Amino acid sequence: MEGKIFGILVYLVGIFYLGYKAWKVTRKPTDYMLAGRQMSPFVLAMSYGATFVSTSAIIGFGGVSGMFGMSMLWLTFLTIFVGVFVAMIVFGKRTRRMGLALNCQTFPELLGRRYRSKFIQQFSGVLIFLFMPIYAAAVLIGICRMLEVAFPMISYGAWLLVVTALVAVYVVTGGLKAVMYTDAFQGSIMAVMMLFLVVTTYALLGGVGNAHQALTDMAALVPEKLTAGGMNGWTQGPDVKSPIGLTIYTTLVYGVGLGVLAQPQLAVRYMTVPSDRELNRAVAIGGIFILLLTGVAFVVGALSNVVFHDRFGEIAINMAGGNFDRIIPLYIDRIMPGWFSGLFLVAMFAAAMSTMSSQYHVSGTSLARDFLEQHVTIGNGGSSMKLNQLGVTVAVFATLIWAWVLPGNIIARATAFFFGLCAASFLPIYLLGLYWKGMTKIAAKVSMVGGFAVSMFWLLFVHLQESAAIGLCEALTGKPSLAVVGEPGTWLWLMQWVDPNVVALPVSMVLAVGVSLATRSMEREHLDLCWDGLC
């Protein structure tokens, strides 16, 4: 216990020192919003990775792997190939150059100025502010559940207040410089701990081959409910057309794997470096970092079934009492050496704080710069910074409220929901806005609103996990989902497990292209400005 407390205290000293250092050099709105556009490749890569991967991936998705097995490694592949390589090379360079040409400081501002539309900027800002706190709450829940296991004498509600206050202090005062400095420090801690975790797990099971064979041999222990849902074992992927298969491949793998490209808290990082060279150098660092975090979390989550069964005669989900958000915390607490559990707690603390700090910053600045500043006259840079600090503070409180009311088993679902919503709303107009001069303002508006509307409709009336929990569909139709009226096994019946993004993203893309072809192109002078330095 003393070791855990000491480790956290040492870690917090480092965090607040970096936050203080950032605060000292944060004097202009550009410093607060874009870290002065002077970040190094290492800081960029580690901040990008630490923002992308946090307790929602390690605790939430690692727990999902404990229940569903190695099929989650498809998400690791997508997060490296799409989330790092494609993101940095295809999106990163053009985002940095266009953001500089248009003097943008936020992701909604980039979209708004590209299309010369205050509506797009304000709609994007409000959408991010309203829904990002749900994603941030998932991260907050993850670390507080782990702290609850490590320090049972302190309640979950108390941890929510403590962690929220700690992160808020340096984000509100230091802006993006504080966020990125601390992200790099926190990411380094996370990488070392995850490397030790996977090495120790394989050592406990007699090596890589023995560990995976033992997990394969446990297929008969898969609970009957999971088998009925399409699961064949922890080393085999579930049937693609089964409820579990559709959940894994459409919601978790597809939704999160592609949704990363339109994440505002990640896109803004492309604009924090002085040149494309930093983005090129960040690709290798970011790829290795993501592999260490997501790959390890998903492998260890699945292998925890073998370890728990050998030690206690139970599979992971039973050990966790049916709550897969508790699988990884229990594995660390019950299986790993005592000294490591303290250090790993620090690593998860770092994972949570790194992601939440970025979420608070982006959510708050979306409210302040992309909505409030469009309606309030700002006299100078100092006033603009104060308004953004106010916005961040409001975002912190909104996240705390969501974390208090959201149910268990929510971490992975809340993350996938936000990633999918961003992809459906932003990805087509973001991608086409960077590469196609024929993309028009009207098309951007129709695509963004249409993608958002289809995504929300599917969430509220079709996708069973959310529609049943929210209850609006049942209140209006008497059914938890419109898809349950279909015969079992038919395409309509299967739709209740298909993620909203599978439908909404293609609709959004078709609307973007179709309406652009039918409407007048934007002024050549404006397009030349947007493309300044891109060709």
Domain CATH for 385: 1.20.1730.10
Residue 468's pLDDT band, with cuts at 50, 70 and 90, is confident
Residue 393's pLDDT band, with cuts at 50, 70 and 90, is confident
Residue 379 has pLDDT above 60, yes or no: no
Residue 33's pLDDT band, with cuts at 50, 70 and 90, is low
Q: How far from the centroid of its chain's Cα atoms is residue 235's Cα? A: 25
Handedness of CA 194, 199, 205, 210 (dihedral sign): positive
pLDDT at 369: 79
Residue of 87, 428, 534, 39 whose CA lies nearest to 272: 39
The per-residue pLDDT of the chain, averaged, comes to 84
C-beta contacts of 482-491 below 8 A and 24+ residues apart:
none
Residue 142 lies in a domain: yes
pLDDT at 304: 94
Residue 22 lies in a domain: yes
Residue 408 has pLDDT above 70, yes or no: no
Residue 149 has pLDDT above 80, yes or no: no
Share of the chain above pLDDT 70, in %: 90
**Number of domains making up the chain:** 1
Residue 484 lies in a domain: no
- Report for 42-56, 94-108, 370-384, 438-452: range of highest mean pLDDT: 438-452
Lowest mean pLDDT among 21-30, 49-58, 119-128, 158-167: 21-30
**Residue 533, Ramachandran bin (φ over 0: left; ψ between -120 and 50: alpha; else beta):** left
Handedness of CA 462, 467, 473, 478 (dihedral sign): positive
Residue of 105, 128, 95 whose CA lies nearest to 433: 95
CB 369 within 8 A of CB 106: yes
Residue 155 has pLDDT above 80, yes or no: yes
Residue 172 lies in a domain: yes
Give the mean pLDDT of 508-524: 94
pLDDT at 305: 94
Residue 399 lies in a domain: yes
Residue of 321, 316, 325, 300 whose CA lies nearest to 147: 325
Residue 350 lies in a domain: yes
Higher pLDDT, 56 or 393: 393
pLDDT at 532: 84
Handedness of CA 19, 24, 29, 31 (dihedral sign): negative
Residue 368's pLDDT band, with cuts at 50, 70 and 90, is confident
Residue 60 has pLDDT above 90, yes or no: no
Q: How many helices (H) and strands (E) does the chain have?
A: 28, 0
pLDDT at 206: 92
Residue 382 lies in a domain: yes
Residue 100 lies in a domain: yes
Phi, psi of 54 (to 5 degrees): -145, -155
CB 235 within 8 A of CB 305: no
Give the span between the Cα atoms of 112 and 125, in whole angstroms. 10
Residue 337's pLDDT band, with cuts at 50, 70 and 90, is confident
Lowest mean pLDDT among 57-71, 227-241, 333-347, 502-516: 333-347
Give the mean pLDDT of 64-92: 90
Neighbours of 216 (CB within 10 A): 15
Lowest mean pLDDT among 235-239, 288-292, 364-368, 433-437: 364-368
Residue 2's pLDDT band, with cuts at 50, 70 and 90, is low
CB 146 within 8 A of CB 429: no
pLDDT at 299: 94
pLDDT at 471: 83
Give the mean pLDDT of 321-347: 82
Residue 522, token pair as written in the block:
């934007």
Give the mean pLDDT of 98-119: 91
pLDDT at 514: 96
Lowest mean pLDDT among 165-169, 298-302, 396-400: 165-169
Give the span between the Cα atoms of 148 and 156, in whole angstroms. 6
**Cα 19 to Cα 54, 168, 178, 394, distances in angstroms:** 19, 11, 5, 20
CB 44 within 8 A of CB 278: yes
Segments forming the whole domain that contains residue 290: 2-424
Residue 159's pLDDT band, with cuts at 50, 70 and 90, is confident
Q: What is the dihedral of CA 272, 275, 277, 281, to 10 degrees?
A: 0
Q: List, for residues 161-171, the tens digit of each pLDDT value.
A: 888 888 887 67
Phi, psi of 522 (to 5 degrees): -75, 165
pLDDT at 344: 80
Residue of 171, 165, 202, 203 whose CA lies nearest to 186: 171
**Cα 454 to Cα 83, 111, 165, 492, distances in angstroms:** 24, 20, 36, 17
